[in-house]
Amino acid sequence: MPKEQATIAASTSDVAPPDVFKLHATVAQVFATRCATAWASYLDAAQAATRPLSEASAAPDAFWADVTGYWLDFAQRSILFWDTLRQRGNNWLEHEKAGKPPLLHFQWEMVADARQFAQPVNYALVRILPPAGVETDPQRRPFVVIDPRAGHGPGIGGFKEDSQVGVALKAGHPVYFLIFFPEPMPGQTLADVSRAEADFLQIVAKRHPGTRKPVIIGNCQGGWASMLVGALEPDAVGPIVINGAPMSYWAGNDGENPMRYSGGLLGGSWPALFASDLGAGTFDGAELVQNFETLNPANTYFDKYYTLFSKIDTEPQRFLDFERWWGGFFMMDRREIKWIVENLFVGNDLVGGEAEWSEGRAFDLRAIRSPIVLFASLGDNITPPQQAFNWVADLYPTTEALKANGQVIIGLMHKSVGHLGIFVSGQVARREHKQIFDLVEYIEHLPPGLYGMQIEEKVVDGAIHYDALLTERAVEDLHQLQKYARRDEIPFEAVKATSDVLASAYEAYAHPLIAALVTPAGAAMRRSLHPQRMQRWALSDLNPFLLPVKGMADWVKANRLPHDEAGGLARLERTCAALTSATWDLYRDLRDAALENAFFTAYGAAGLFMPSQRRTHPEPDDVRDDKPLEEVLSRIAEGGRTAAMVRTALLLMKAGTGRRRLSAMKRARELAGRDIGLLDMSAEQARAIIREQASIVERAPERALAALPALLPASSDRRALLDLLARLEMRLDANPDQKDLLAKLRGLLSDTHAGDPSPRHRSLERSSKRRVQNGAGGTPTIPEAASGT
């Protein structure tokens, strides 16, 4: 990105009022640079598109064969193309007539319907029935998937066999799904929905009493919905996995994330209120889908249709399946969309602890005690990584603060997949989601901290094997995701202030009049004429002009003559298609540059006169001076055998590389999991021990080591720990620092009781020393393994 752009954000926070003219000059310069970049990209794309036309032309006889064959193929593809759009329209009509049921690939059964609750909402809990050949174990931890309610219906998390639902089922877990119905219950609020979802989790827990708390999988909007439940009822949730979930709505980078400017350019929350009033108190989800489609006009208006046309023999079924979900528009109550827009999209209040779920009571994300996995992608322009991760730094300004709260957060970044690919892609399900789900069984035994997750890929005997690698990170590193140290978020304070004023004026003057004039019948008519719906029912069997298409398509399928794609006319077609797509991209880039320019022109100067109100939780004092930590250190010589083994593992991790592999965690659990005792405890008890010992080791490692023998007064316990270390050392490699620590541990524990260590320990120790002397390349280190115990 050009260097000049850095001055936009700097101007909005650091420049005095007399420099307003300089700010506008800089904004104009950045706009000119972006326009030049857009044109350069277009010219490069045009050159690449026309290059195949320079290839040698065919002989005259081959040319005429190419012409006749191409146009016959073109005509056949055209008929099949329009027939596919006709089928899309018919599918839409059938789905509407059926009440828009969930589009899940799997069979399911109803468990609880929240429309029957004391405070009814349009949600229900269903259990996914395992397909033939797949068995689930009711004694294994259940998974609960929460799909986004952002215009579409439920089903994206279980849209195909290789999906989040499919991966969890194949792993043997019971899987539940939170579905929702097209129409909201009268008067329902987001707080009502969160309470209903918490009730669902209690139902799941009662159905599986012998297991740990359910794992929550939240997709996009379902991600922050999962976080709301975790904050509202922290004792009801297990690990939370949120995929492509926007949490910090003001975050992003200039030139990359145009959606964050929408609230300011539209004047705040009042357009959503206006749309709800036109819907007689109901917000139409088709409006949200329309917003998504404007992000990439090339795909919306051309690419997806040309892909269907060019691959008409193989593409229709995939196209129809996706369009069935994409075209299912669900409603929201006016109070729901008002809360979402004011508290999230425009207000960004969730991370500041100011998003109230009832009078005077706000969601506090710091109340979540369960581990959290964040999955985002650099290729996602709907939920960019900054929006998915920045809230962590807002809640916990330092790594010290995160650890002091006892929280475990793991971040995984995909390099290229788009927003929907995070949930829909079969490859992502088999690779990323499978590793995440495997890791869930181990992350509750990780010490508090922020971890980066990477997926390693190896090919063994022609088969691909994946492994997850965790690396400790600092919260401070998150600031590198967004340029300008997030000073470009300051103008959004002016957006919020503007939104509050305009929304108040709208509610006072316009809302009473519009609400009195709009009737439910008129609202239904308006929804039926929405462009998103019209393009479907207008191209269906309701259109008499399309009646002959089905018969013609059947004839074409029986007499299909595909043309050679290497022909000159086929190359010309692809060139024209590439130029058309590039032109749409040029329009998008110029439009986004103009909108960004308009945003900073309108609100950047306003930000100069407004003190920053960006709400972050205050940074805690040094936790070493906190009374709770003093109490923890006062128990440094207490805890017993399990605490001693956990402390030993943490000391070894502190001396290690800071990396932990999932495969090593699995092997370590097989070797020593039952010996340590954490697996026989509840998750809360295990986490309490790990957090306490991690706090001790983090702040006073030398004292923690010296006090270790006091935790093991019985010689049998000391020998058990020594035997365990020797057994692990035989199977796992250690770096020099860890070897020194192991020697200290052996001396410390051996000297605290009469006599020598057990014969078995001496034998294991000799074997271990021989193995270290001979060398063991490529094996995981002890801290990588110990984190999984």
- The pLDDT tens digits of the residues spanning 129-155 come to 999 999 999 999 999 999 999 899 999
Above 80 in pLDDT, residue 752? Answer: no
3-state DSSP percent of the chain in helix, strand and coil, to 5: 60, 10, 30
Above 90 in pLDDT, residue 637? Answer: no
Above 60 in pLDDT, residue 771? Answer: no
Label residue 781 by pLDDT band (50, 70, 90). low
Average pLDDT, the chain: 86
Contact 281, 350 (CB under 8 A): no
Q: In terms of Cα–Cα distance, which of 98, 77, 90, 223 is closest to 164? A: 223
pLDDT in the model for residue 322: 93
Backbone angles phi, psi at 226, to 5 degrees: -65, -40
According to CATH, what is the number of the domain 108-257+336-485? 3.40.50.1820
Token pair for 586: 């040029």
> Using H for helix, E for strand and C for coil, what is the string for 296-363?
CHHHHHHHHHHHHHHCCCCCHHHHHHHHHHHCCCCEEEHHHHHHHHHHHHCCCCCCCCCCEEECCEEC
pLDDT in the model for residue 650: 86
Cα separation, 784 vs 661, whole angstroms: 6
pLDDT in the model for residue 319: 96
Contact 697, 649 (CB under 8 A): no
Above 90 in pLDDT, residue 625? Answer: no
Helix 662-676 and helix 715-731: axis angle, to 10°?
A: 160
pLDDT in the model for residue 103: 93
Above 90 in pLDDT, residue 453? Answer: yes
Cα separation, 30 vs 592, whole angstroms: 12
pLDDT in the model for residue 194: 93
Above 90 in pLDDT, residue 13? Answer: no
pLDDT in the model for residue 147: 93
Backbone angles phi, psi at 784, to 5 degrees: -60, -40
pLDDT in the model for residue 694: 87
Above 80 in pLDDT, residue 207? Answer: yes
pLDDT in tens, 152-171: 999 999 999 999 999 999 99
Across 157-161, 228-232, 329-333, 762-766, least confident range:
762-766
Label residue 124 by pLDDT band (50, 70, 90). very high
Mean pLDDT score, 35-43? 95
Mean pLDDT score, 462-491? 84
Residue 109's region, left for phi above 0, alpha for psi from -120 to 50, else beta, is beta
pLDDT in the model for residue 610: 62
Cα separation, 581 vs 47, whole angstroms: 13
Contact 533, 289 (CB under 8 A): no
pLDDT in the model for residue 628: 62
pLDDT in tens, 524-576: 999 999 999 999 999 999 999 999 999 999 999 999 999 888 888 999 999 99
In sequence order, the 6+-apart residues with CB closer than 8 A to the CB of 39 are: 586
pLDDT in tens, 667-704: 777 766 677 778 878 888 888 888 888 888 888 888 88
Mean pLDDT score, 730-738? 73
| Other C-beta atoms lying within 10 Å of the C-beta of residue 786 | 28
Stated as kind and residue range, the H or E segment containing 215 is strand 215-219
pLDDT > 70: percent of the chain: 87
| Other C-beta atoms lying within 10 Å of the C-beta of residue 68 | 10
In sequence order, the 6+-apart residues with CB closer than 8 A to the CB of 126 are: 102, 108, 109, 110, 111, 176, 177, 178, 179
For residue 206, how far is the Cα from the chain centroid? 28
What does DSSP say about strands 143-146 and 215-219: parallel, antiparallel, or unpaired?
A: parallel
pLDDT > 90: percent of the chain: 56
Handedness of CA 387, 393, 399, 401 (dihedral sign): negative
Mean pLDDT score, 56-69? 72
Across 63-72, 163-172, 270-279, least confident range:
63-72
Cα separation, 422 vs 413, whole angstroms: 10
591, exposed or middle or buried, with CB in 10 Å at 0-12, 13-18, 19+?
middle
Above 90 in pLDDT, residue 316? Answer: yes
Above 80 in pLDDT, residue 359? Answer: no
Stated as kind and residue range, the H or E segment containing 522 is helix 520-528
Stated as kind and residue range, the H or E segment containing 465 is strand 463-473
Give the CA distances from residue 196 to residues 118, 149, 531, in Å, rounded to whole numbers and listed in that order: 10, 15, 34
Question: What is the residue extent of each domain of the chain?
Answer: 108-257+336-485, 623-786
pLDDT in the model for residue 585: 97
Write the DSSP assignment of 738-783 as a string of letters. Answer: HHHHHHHHHHHHHTTSSSPPPHHHHHHHHHHHHHHHH--TTPPBHH
Single-letter code of the amino acid located at 669: R
Global pTM exceeds 0.75 = yes
